[in-house]
Amino acid sequence: MEITSTDLGLAARVQQLTKTYGAGDSAVRALDGVSVGIRRAQFTAIMGPSGSGKSTLMHVMAGLDAPTTGRAWIGDTEITGLGDLDLTILRRRRVGFVFQSFNLVPTLDVMANILLPFDLDGRRPSALERARIDGLVETLGLQARLRHRPHELSGGQQQRVAIARALATAPDLVFADEPTGNLDSRSGRDVLRLLAEASAQHGQSIAMVTHDPVAASYADRVLFLGDGRVVADKPRQTPEQISAHMLEAEAVAR
């Protein structure tokens, strides 16, 4: 797929991305010519075997990592070549990121972690934002944990704090790397509903990496990565269809 001109229907896009880690004999090509867009107000799942480049793609799309070659945009702003300060401000205002490793600040309690995006932007949440944060805290079942620090929480609770933090400012664009990986099926479902609602009702654009076909079935669109390339791009699928596709892709790779 070639994306050459500005497309207002896309919240983020990348063109001909490659990313190589290391050099010489130990070089690993994590992305190998990826051109793809994340559509506005859609929930997109990104699937693929371990090591297929999912996390690398999300990091480059969110401006957390630079590609080796190729270009990336957030909305109409090209982020490849943008200076650190401009990039940081753009990301802070428009992008929420749920890291696979959570990235919570160990010295801050849960509430302070959730409010971190506001602190970094040098402002306090408005009354409306405060109400929104209270809603997130409730949906994610974190009410009784607000004064706890990350090390006092289970992996699943830490993951939910990371999700609340990513959604707190209601960013246009949310990237979530395996956001349900540590959750039991019930809280996993709550998180998936929250993400689906964020796109369908609030017009946010969501990209979620997952290897769970049930999780991916909540998305409007499923992208499959294999060996650093986009190998399929499908509209909403049932968990059964997604599983079948994954098995097929793994059989081809073998």
Ligand X SMILES: Nc1ncnc2c1ncn2[C@@H]1O[C@H](COP(=O)(O)OP(=O)(O)O)[C@@H](O)[C@H]1O
Which residues in this chain contact ligand X in the complex, by CB under 6 A? 21-22, 28, 30, 48, 50-56
Separation of alpha carbons 219 and 237, rounded Å: 8
Residues 229-248 as b/e (b if ≥16 CB within 10 A, e otherwise) read ebbeebeebeeeebbebbee
Q: Which is nearer to Mg ion, 55 or 113 (CB)?
A: 55
The distance of closest approach from Cβ of residue 56 to ligand X in the complex, given in angstroms and rounded to an integer, is: 3
Q: Within 13 Å, how many C-alpha atoms sit on residue 101's CB side?
A: 5
Binding mask 7-46 for Mg ion (x = CB under 5 A): ----------------------------------------
Choose from ligand X, Mg ion, none: what does 50 bind? Cβ within 5-8 Å by kind.
ligand X
The distance of closest approach from Cβ of residue 65 to Mg ion in the complex, given in angstroms and rounded to an integer, is: 12
Q: How big is the chain, counted in residues?
A: 254
- Would you state the structure tokens that stand for residue 139, as one six-digit string? 């949906």
Q: Which is nearer to ligand X, 54 or 221 (CB)?
A: 54
Q: Which is nearer to ligand X, 21 or 88 (CB)?
A: 21
Q: Is 180 in the site for Mg ion (CB under 5 A)?
A: no
| Mutual angle of helices 127-139 and 155-167, in 10-degree steps | 150
Q: Which is nearer to ligand X, 22 or 81 (CB)?
A: 22
Neighbours of 88 (CB within 10 A): 13
The distance of closest approach from Cβ of residue 208 to ligand X in the complex, given in angstroms and rounded to an integer, is: 12
Beta carbons of 231 and 238 less than 8 angstroms apart: no
The distance of closest approach from Cβ of residue 96 to Mg ion in the complex, given in angstroms and rounded to an integer, is: 18
Q: Which is nearer to Mg ion, 172 or 178 (CB)?
A: 178
How many residues sit close enough to Mg ion to count as binding (CB under 5 A)? 1
Q: Which is nearer to ligand X, 172 or 177 (CB)?
A: 177
The residues pairing with 15 across neighbouring beta strands, listed in sequence order, are: 71
Q: Which is nearer to ligand X, 38 or 168 (CB)?
A: 38
The distance of closest approach from Cβ of residue 53 to ligand X in the complex, given in angstroms and rounded to an integer, is: 4
Find the angle CA(182)-CA(143)-CA(176) to the nearest 5 degrees.
35
The distance of closest approach from Cβ of residue 18 to ligand X in the complex, given in angstroms and rounded to an integer, is: 12
Burial group, residue 106, by CB count within 10 angstroms (0-12, 13-18, 19+):
exposed
Alpha-helical segments (H) within 62-126: 84-94, 110-120
What residues between 47 and 76 interact with Mg ion by CB under 5 A?
55
Run of H or E residues at 11: strand 10-21
Choose from ligand X, Mg ion, none: what does 169 bind? Cβ within 5-8 Å by kind.
none
Choose from ligand X, Mg ion, none: what does 21 bind? Cβ within 5-8 Å by kind.
ligand X
Binding site for Mg ion (CB under 5 A): 55
